[in-house]
Structure formats: structure tokens, C-alpha cells
Structure 1
Amino acid sequence: MSFVKLYQKAPMFQSFANELFNRSLSDIVGSDFVNTQPAVNVVETPNGFAIQVAAPGLEKNDFDVQVDKNLLTISAKKEQETTVAEGKFTRREFNFSSFKRSFQLPETVQTDNISATYEQGVLTLNIVKKDEAKPAPVRKIDIV
């Protein structure tokens, strides 16, 4: 009695599967496809907080900053199209990047008094504390 092998692995699929598991996602689909989160610094000062978001290569119009109750959401979207001529052929490449970060703000800040600037690739949001949350200055008490 002889056995007949009914299923043979297709070499093309096996090659693709090996490549899929042996390489990172960004190597396969391209680094422009992978969604990344920008680095963020949060600094507390006596008068408030500063949130710094490292987002080089964007314009200030690419950002959307919203506050809903005490949830601050920072998002950005950038679409870029490049056309490269190579001999008789033209190749078009699309580049799309986006991110979205949210921060729960403490009750001690003024959510209606938040300002934002974008300079040299860093988005900075300044959030002012409520007066009752600011440290009271040292006061000398006279003895009578």
C-alpha cells in the first residue's frame, strides 16, 4: 500500500510566511505605514503645566488640540504626495502619518486658559493652574 501526499506547501507561500515572521512589520509594509507616538514631556511649574510634544516635520495647521471636560487630546495628520520621474515612467508615492495622544488634566487647572505654540518641531501647550492650586507665598506674621 502506498500513500499519496495530498497537500504540498506552496514554495511561494512558505517564502512569504518565513519573511513575515523573520522581519519586523515596518520592514514589510514600510516605515511610513507604522503609526508611532511622539515623545512627550510634561513639566509642572508653580503656575501651571507645560506639555511639550516632539513632532518635527509638521505645520501648525496639521495639529488639532481639543479639551473635553478635563481630557486634553492632541492629534495631528499629515498627508504628502511625491512624484518622481524615472525615464519614461512616473512613480507616485503617498506618505500619510498621524498620531493621537490624550491626557487627563487635574481638576486644579483652568481648561479655558490653555495656549499652544509650535516652534522648531516642538508643540508646547501651557496650562494655567487655578489660583487656589498655586502655592501661597511665604508670609511673615508679626508678633504683637
Structure 2
Amino acid sequence: MDWLTTGVLMGIGGTLAMDIWALLLRQLVGMPLPNWGNVGRWSVQATKGQVFNDDISAVAPVTGETSIGWAVHYGVGIIYGVLFLVIFGPDWLVNAAFLPIWIFSILTIAAGWFLLQPGMGLGWAASKTDTPWRARIMGLIAHTVFALGMWGVALLVAA
């Protein structure tokens, strides 16, 4: 399998792992699922030049926003999977060490903290939420799960 296809599959696997993690948290501790409609609404607004909003839920709904949000969610995961292999090279797949992919995945949270969250009105790194440190810790855990999902796919491909 070529490295580009592997990167795409890694991104899908990592994103799927995050989604399964979110479902587990909902079942085990009642944590609400991510609102992909708001992400879709924000994405449409961003393409129109309105990157930062005071409250994305106060912005007029967009047709298909939930589907758009899901597509953005998986699209970003795929980009990260491919980008990881661009940075570390396809040779990483030979040994597929966890540490590099984990560090990379933790660094990707910067896009959420410094673009998506303030863009939706949640503040830098969720600073305008009721429990910013909880949101940050849960984000770091989710990105660790993302790393585990990408790593698992890499190991399967290498096998």
C-alpha cells in the first residue's frame, strides 16, 4: 500500500477512535457528544471570511451544517494522517514508534485551541467555557486517543 493511502487510512482510524471515545464517555459518564453542526456552521462562516464569532450558536443555521461538520472532522483527521507521514516519512511505518505520533497528535490540538474554539466563541483554549481546564484536559486525552487510532492503523498496515 502506498504511503498516501496509508496516511488517509491513519487519519480515518484516528478520527474514528476519537468518535468511539466520545461515545464511551457519553455512555459511561454522561458527557455530551461534540456538536458537529456548530463546527459545520463555523466552517461555512470561516469560508465567508467570518473566522471569529462571539457565539456560533447565535449565528443563523446553515443547510447541512451537521453533515458539513462531520466532513470537516474527518477531513481534518485525514489531513493530519497524511501530514504526519509527510513530516516523518513513510520509513516511519517500518517501526511505527508511538512517541512521534503521540507528540504530533498532541500538537494538533493547537488548531482547536487557537482557531476552532475562539472561532466559535469559546475563547482561546476554551477559556470562555465554564470549566476551561477540564475542556483542555479532555482535548489532550481525545488527541491521545487519536494518536492511538492512527498508530493502530499504521501497525495493521505494516503487518
Q: Taking structure 1 as the reference length, what is the TM-score of the superposition?
A: 0.23
Larger fraction in strand: 1
Answer with 1 or 2: which has the greater Rg: 1
Larger fraction in helix: 2
